[in-house]
Amino acid sequence: MVSLTEQYPILFTVYNLISKINIYYILIGFFIYLVIRPYFYYFKNRNSLAPGPLPLPLIGHWNIFLIGDVAQNKYNLSEKYGEICDITMFGQRCVIISSPKYLKELFSPSVYSPFLRRLPLTSGFIELGMDKEGLLLNCDIPKWRHNRKFFQQSLSPPSFIELSTKYTVECCEEIINYWSHIKEDSNQIVKLDEWFRSFTSDMMGLVASGSKETSMKIQFMKFTNQIYKEKDIEKEQNRGEIYRRLRSEYADALGFYIFVPKILWNFPGISIAAKYYKNILNYLTDFEIQFIKERKQQIKNENDDEVSSQNSKVRPDFLTMLITQNTEDDPSPDEIKQNIREMFSAGTGTTTTTLCSIVYLLAKHPEHEKRMVEEILSVIGKDNRITSSDLSKLPFTEAVINESMRLYPVVPITYRYSPDQDTQIANYHFNKDTIFAINLSHIHRNEEYFDKPDQFIPERFLGKWKETIPQFAFSPFGHGMRSCPGKNFAMTEIKVILATIYRKYTFKLVNPDEPLQLKFTLVNDISKMEVYIEKRE
Ligand code: HEM
């Protein structure tokens, strides 16, 4: 009798092969795919290449490590390969631009610009709902425009600026109260990065949605070695605290969805994490939608005149501003939710890192700190509360902020991308779908535009400094249609914090010889900053 194996030899060979495939082969295959894919893109676009290197690190798909070194000026790509050169990112062609000369099209302020998108869509961004909602990664241009209008309008009214100044001052007073427990000459090390992180989180909670949070309180408990019991905080039944915790889980979810490709989400082990983060996203969404519904009801209970009057029971925070836009195409609860979320994700870490870089630079340059404090004392005095009208009277303080952001831009690289149109930059042709990475950290340290570019010289930002440098040579908040909508808010907040805190305290670095400890994800995040805090005489 002829066996089945002999009768169907090919079928059995195939069957044998399939039965041997296990998860490891799939992983190896995926790894090889990641290695090959960028080279495929590189050669496909070869005829239109600007001079540049073949993408160097093997896994070009995650060239984020190379980008990280470039972003922190540890690797001078442009010195080696020119001011326009090629790498790959997310498996796609990515052109790094390190000169302001080539940014006219990319930073165009026109609504018809083909570069209204920041990055191509990935499955992670879609899972996070960021592809069609909010601003940061929104690729749906009509929807992005709709949200951008609301976001910007909500941050602009004088009542909102007054309110955010007031809340920033209140949070400063809270932190000063905690720091007053530090004993003189105790040499107690203070983790300033953690304090500022909790500060910005509490402050943003108040400004965005009116929720009083307890990050600083927890920080204080940790600092004084009081046993931090989750239950103590829970007892307060504080809604703000629940929201704070959900947001911190959301930050982890962001990392997961951005860096773990969808193909891996169903793998054993990883699938547990994927499910967990999905639940967090759902829970957070339900929480926020409920919050928005309640606020809408509250606003409905008041008539229009009351809402905008001083006697209104409804707080004029960012959430109220978003709901009461009074236009025909009001934002939906989902859009409001995403805008609030992005206010936290784009507005807390950025401010924390900028504040830490300022403290770091001032600690190294006491002569500039002295001048800044003198300015603050002469405008506001030692104990008066700062008001929004004082802010324009602090040019040197503003120069200190600008110079710190020049040396350590929180967003060292920003992106533009057009899926619809080829483009021509500096006589090179680029196919549509090319990602453009704008190397702000390199541009900010170019000696052609900034004398002694590695030195901290705030004076360069006094007077008519804008006329002395070319357009786009200084861009800590980006430029054009997708520039930072929180710029004025952030500058106000940072100035208020510096003015309120520096007139009372001075900071000494625990390790003055260490460089500023920054960690690059998609932005620069301060990873460690230890100081001694001293009361000012
Ligand atoms: C020191 C603080 C901050 C810095 C240095 C900063 C910097 C930036 C930069 C460089 C961009 C990209 C701009 C571009 O690509 O042209 C950006 C975008 C953005 N920022 Fe900020 N930012 C800060 C604070 C804030 C705050 C407080 C908020 C919220 C109130 C905010 C909300 C946003 C949003 C929503 C976007 C995306 C805009 C869009 O794509 O349309 N940022 N920011």
pLDDT of residue 37: 62
CA distance 228 to 218: 7
- The amino acid at 140: D
What are the C-alpha distances in Å from 389 to residues 21, 162, 293, 392, 490? 70, 9, 35, 7, 16
ipTM of the complex: 0.99
CA–centroid distance, 376 to ligand 1, in Å, is 27
What are the C-alpha distances in Å from 435 to residues 88, 101, 423? 9, 18, 11
Annotation: CATH topology of 62-535:
Cytochrome p450 (1.10.630)
| Beta strands across the sheet bearing 435-439 | 84-89, 92-97, 435-439, 413-417
pLDDT at 478 over 60: yes
pLDDT of residue 83: 86
- The amino acid at 312: S
Mean pLDDT to the nearest integer, 317-325: 83
Residue nearest to atom 7 of ligand 1 (CA): 477
How many other β-carbons are positioned within 10 Å of the β-carbon of residue 32?
10
Between residues 123 and 115, the one the model is more confident about: 115
Structure tokens at 65: 């490590």
pLDDT of residue 52: 47
Angle at 111 between CA 136 and CA 155, to 5 degrees: 50
Is 484 flagged in the annotation as binding?
Answer: yes
Mean pLDDT to the nearest integer, 328-346: 84
Confidence band, pLDDT 50/70/90 cuts, at residue 57: very low
pLDDT at 318 over 60: yes
DSSP strand pairing (435-439 vs 413-417): antiparallel
Query: In this predicted structure, which of 63-77, 366-380, 461-475 has the lowest mean pLDDT?
Result: 63-77
Mean pLDDT to the nearest integer, 48-67: 51
pLDDT of residue 452: 97
pTM of the predicted model, to two decimals? 0.87
CA–centroid distance, 246 to ligand 1, in Å, is 22
Does ligand 1 come within 6 angstroms of the Cβ of 318? no
Do residues 176 and 501 make contact, with C-beta atoms less than 8 angstroms apart?
yes
Does ligand 1 come within 6 angstroms of the Cβ of 343? yes
CA distance 239 to 236: 9
- The amino acid at 510: V
CA–centroid distance, 177 to ligand 1, in Å, is 30
**Interval 214-265: pLDDT, tens:** 888 888 888 887 655 555 555 555 667 778 778 888 888 888 887 787 888 8
Phi-psi region of 54 (alpha: psi -120 to 50; beta: other; left: phi over 0): beta
Does ligand 1 come within 6 angstroms of the Cβ of 412? no
Do residues 402 and 457 make contact, with C-beta atoms less than 8 angstroms apart?
no
Does ligand 1 come within 6 angstroms of the Cβ of 406? no
CA–centroid distance, 69 to ligand 1, in Å, is 22
Does ligand 1 come within 6 angstroms of the Cβ of 244? no
pLDDT of residue 12: 66
What are the C-alpha distances in Å from 98 to residues 23, 83, 292, 428? 42, 5, 43, 15
Query: In this predicted structure, which of 191-205, 255-269, 348-362, 424-438 has the lowest mean pLDDT?
Result: 255-269
pLDDT at 405 over 60: yes
pLDDT of residue 453: 97
CA–centroid distance, 483 to ligand 1, in Å, is 7
Residue 415 CA: nearest ligand 1 atom is: 15
**Structural domain spans, the chain:** 4-45, 62-535
What are the C-alpha distances in Å from 295 to residues 24, 211, 219, 317? 51, 12, 30, 11
- Please provide the distance, in angstroms rounded to a whole number, between the alpha carbons at the two ends of the chain: 103
- Measured in degrees and rounded to the nearest 5, phi and psi for residue 524 equal -90, 125
pLDDT of residue 22: 63
Does ligand 1 come within 6 angstroms of the Cβ of 116? no
Confidence band, pLDDT 50/70/90 cuts, at residue 53: very low
- Measured in degrees and rounded to the nearest 5, phi and psi for residue 438 equal -95, 115
pLDDT at 41 over 70: no
Percent share of the chain, pLDDT over 70: 83
How far, in whole angstroms, is CA 244 from its chain's centroid?
Answer: 17
Q: Pocket of ligand 1, candidates 145, 477, 481, 526: which has the most ligand atoms within 8 Å of its Cβ, to mutate? A: 477
Does ligand 1 come within 6 angstroms of the Cβ of 137? no
**Interval 4-37: pLDDT, tens:** 566 667 766 766 666 666 666 767 777 676 666 6
pLDDT of residue 24: 66
Percent share of the chain, pLDDT over 90: 40
Q: What is the mean pLDDT of the chain?
A: 84
Do residues 443 and 473 make contact, with C-beta atoms less than 8 angstroms apart?
yes
Does ligand 1 come within 6 angstroms of the Cβ of 346? yes
Query: In this predicted structure, which of 136-150, 222-236, 271-285 has the lowest mean pLDDT?
Result: 222-236
Does ligand 1 come within 6 angstroms of the Cβ of 349? no
CA–centroid distance, 262 to ligand 1, in Å, is 27
Mean pLDDT to the nearest integer, 111-131: 87
pLDDT of residue 61: 42
Mean pLDDT to the nearest integer, 131-160: 88
CA–centroid distance, 414 to ligand 1, in Å, is 10
pLDDT of residue 21: 61
pLDDT of residue 58: 40
SS3 annotation, 168-231: HHHHHHHHHHHHCCCCCCCCCCEEHHHHHHHHHHHHHHHHHHCCCCCHHHHHHHHHCCCCCCHH
